[in-house]
């Protein structure tokens, strides 16, 4: 059984309804299964499912990448960060999938700010810029001067184009395009094994509220 409110579907629908909306997704190349599962069927399920779901995002308004620790070795992220319109943010140990919201144990912090300047919360915008700079391997300064790409991260749409342009030139050893699992790879595990349901969302008021708040953030 899948989530009654599919967050990826909500995001895709919102993108189709709002031509000005852009999305950047930074995800580790490997799954969060223990390493002994990384080349087996459970990890393959997650990778194939990720490919299929992200394929529904409009290519011209979505930027998908994996961070790189150093050339040839991808970073392993242990936390989830979601920022919407520099007004709302979530950070914690949950994962953006069915088992991460309903089956695995996790804790998240959701925050905003009452101070708004030009339609954004400066504190949330600064948090988003610092996270993006870290994921993109950007330093605030370059030879004593503000790094041009770091400056562009101040604006959400410009930040989107920084990611797209970096991917267009191969990632500069800092990021990689979304990894595609070949069709001849090991058969993925069934969803009920790799991505279990846990509990019915209607019986979990806390989860229902989480889904409602996230959906509302996408709408506003």
20-32: average pLDDT: 88
Query: Is the per-residue pLDDT at 198 higher than 60?
Result: yes
Query: Is the per-residue pLDDT at 7 higher than 90?
Result: no
pLDDT at 94: 84
Mean pLDDT for all residues in the chain:
82
pLDDT at 1: 34
Instruction: Report residue 120 as tokens.
Output: 């954004």
Phi, psi (5° rounding) for residue 174? -105, -35
Please give the Cα distance from 150 to 47 (Å, whole number): 30
DSSP state of 83: E
| Cβ neighbours around 175 below 10 Å, total | 21
Question: Are 139 and 148 spatial neighbours (Cβ–Cβ below 8 Å)?
Answer: no
Do strands 141-142 and 145-146 pair parallel, antiparallel, or not at all (unpaired)? antiparallel
The SS3 of residue 91 is strand
Q: What pLDDT, in 10s, does the model give residues 92-137? A: 988 877 777 777 778 889 999 999 999 999 999 999 999 999 999 9
Q: What pLDDT, in 10s, does the model give residues 49-87? A: 888 888 888 889 999 999 998 877 888 888 899 999 999
Please give the Cα distance from 65 to 135 (Å, whole number): 10
pLDDT at 134: 93
Better-scored residue on pLDDT, 144 or 65: 65
Q: Model pTM?
A: 0.78
Query: Is the per-residue pLDDT at 209 higher than 60?
Result: no
Instruction: Domain ranges for the chain, please list them.
Output: 7-219
Question: Are 123 and 89 spatial neighbours (Cβ–Cβ below 8 Å)?
Answer: no
End-to-end CA distance of the chain: 29
Question: Are 131 and 150 spatial neighbours (Cβ–Cβ below 8 Å)?
Answer: no
Please give the Cα distance from 63 to 6 (Å, whole number): 20
pLDDT at 206: 57
Please give the Cα distance from 121 to 87 (Å, whole number): 5
Instruction: Report residue 186 as tokens.
Output: 């090991």
The SS3 of residue 175 is strand
């Amino acid at each position: 059984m899948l989530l009654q409110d599919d967050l990826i579907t909500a995001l895709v629908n919102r993108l189709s309804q709002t031509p000005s909306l852009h999305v950047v997704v930074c995800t580790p190349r490997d799954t969060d299964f223990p390493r002994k599962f990384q080349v087996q069927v459970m990890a393959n399920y997650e990778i194939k499912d990720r490919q299929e779901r992200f394929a529904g995002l409009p290519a011209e308004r979505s930027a998908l990448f994996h961070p790189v620790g150093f050339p040839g070795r991808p970073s392993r992220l242990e936390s989830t960060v979601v920022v919407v319109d520099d007004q709302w943010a979530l950070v914690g140990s949950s994962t953006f999938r069915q088992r991460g919201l309903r089956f695995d144990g996790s804790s998240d912090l959701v925050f905003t700010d009452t101070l708004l300047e030009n339609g954004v919360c400066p504190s949330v915008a600064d948090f988003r810029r610092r996270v993006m700079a870290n994921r993109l391997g950007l330093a605030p300064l370059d030879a004593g001067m503000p790094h041009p790409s770091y400056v562009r991260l101040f604006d959400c749409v410009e930040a989107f184009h920084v990611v797209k342009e970096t991917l267009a030139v191969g990632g500069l050893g800092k990021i990689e395009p979304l990894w595609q699992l070949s069709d001849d790879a090991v058969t993925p595990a069934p969803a009920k094994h790799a991505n279990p349901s846990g509990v019915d969302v209607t019986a979990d008021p806390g989860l229902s509220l989480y889904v409602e708040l996230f959906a509302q953030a996408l709408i506003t």
